[in-house]
Amino acid sequence: MTDRIAVIPGDGVGQEVVPAAVDVLEAVGNLEFVEVDAGDAVRERTGTALPAETRTAVLGADATLLGAVGETAADVVIPLRNAIDSFVNVRPARAVAGTDVLCPDLDLVILRENTEGVYAGHETRLSDDLSTLTRVSSTSAATRLAEFACEYARTHDVETLHVVHKANVMRETDGRFRDAVLAVAKENDVPTEEVLMDAFATHVCLTPETFELAVMPNLAGDVLSDLAAGLVGGLGVLPSANLGPGGGLFEPVHGSAPDIAGKGVANPAATILSAAMLLENLGYAEAATDVRVAVTGVLASGPHTPDMGGSASTRAVTDAILQEL
């Protein structure tokens, strides 16, 4: 049976990098694509950033490939993650051999809690002077994430699972997160080390080789994976997968990049590597490896887009990746 992929290019560079990734998917797999809209542009046209048709397409698909959403990201990405009950955002940050990056030794997978924390949407304007935010932290969400992390550690021969938090300050919420993750790891005999999230930011730069797999709350995962992106070549190369019982939503870590949108120079690697994660998740391990090898080959040898010091276009880099394939 052919797998059906919902495709949402979205805003800004999403319109450039998603067609590139679809070309790659078409080259390696027998997939059916359903293109739908979401984001700022569709809100301007229709008044809603996430049309019902898009939600239905995502729910009916075997997997979704999303480009980027601008100002309306919270109105699109969070509801879509919730729709598939995505409890984990997998963000691998791997330096590609032969590329000139800050941390050539970094090969880290960040597992970000995907449903709660400060992104749960509980903000209140109490007065002209004062706003508050309620942070959500449940044992059930941390446990589900930790079970995924332990399974990942087992299947990927990870020596140590780093548990990143700030429980020395946020004793109740991060304390709950830490306790739940450590309890699951202990049950599963997975060795762990705790790191405070601010210390993690320093250590990942100074001793990148000590980190393989790190599990952390939502905001920390968002921020620290952007840091990791900077260490391995920038946002143009970092893919991600939102996984849950309702399916997978695959998207680059980067946003809509309005500063370069429309110029045809966005790096397609992050989205194409997200497509490789999609293939792997659907069971096409060999095709996923082929895509990764092709992308890393081109990242090492060029052509390169301007974010990686080159002058090639999105199209030229995509064509080189297709050629490698």
Annotated catalytic, 23?
A: no
Q: How far is the CB of 123 from ligand ATP (least distance, A)?
A: 17
| By CB under 6 A, residue 254 contacts ligand ATP | yes
Near ligand ATP by CB under 6 A: residue from 192, 256, 281, 296 = 256
Annotated catalytic, 157?
A: no
Annotated catalytic, 226?
A: yes
| By CB under 6 A, residue 22 contacts ligand ATP | no
| By CB under 6 A, residue 313 contacts ligand ATP | no
End-to-end CA distance of the chain: 24
Annotated catalytic, 284?
A: no
Q: How far is the CB of 257 from ligand ATP (least distance, A)?
A: 4
Tokens encoding 200: 């993690």
Stretch that binds ligand ATP, among 47-55, 89-97, 189-197, 259-267 (CB under 6 A): 259-267
Residues 34-73 as x/- pattern, contact with ligand ATP by CB under 6 A: ---------------------------------------x
Strands (E), the chain: 3-10, 31-35, 63-68, 88-94, 107-113, 123-125, 131-133, 161-165, 192-196, 213-216, 239-244, 247-252
Catalytic residue among 11, 37, 222, 307: 222
| By CB under 6 A, residue 218 contacts ligand ATP | no
DSSP 8-state secondary structure symbol assigned to residue 245? T
Nearer to ligand ATP, 66 or 142 (CB): 66
Annotated catalytic, 119?
A: yes
Ordered strands of the 239-244 beta sheet: 31-35, 3-10, 63-68, 247-252, 239-244, 88-94, 107-113, 213-216, 161-165, 192-196
| By CB under 6 A, residue 307 contacts ligand ATP | yes
- Give the angle subtended at the CA of 93 by the CAs of 92 and 94, to the nearest 5°: 110
Query: What does the DSSP assignment read for 118-155?
Result: GGG--EEE-SSS-EEE--B--HHHHHHHHHHHHHHHHH
Task: Report how many residues bind ligand ATP under the rule CB under 6 A.
Answer: 16
Residues noted as catalytic: 119, 166, 198, 222, 226
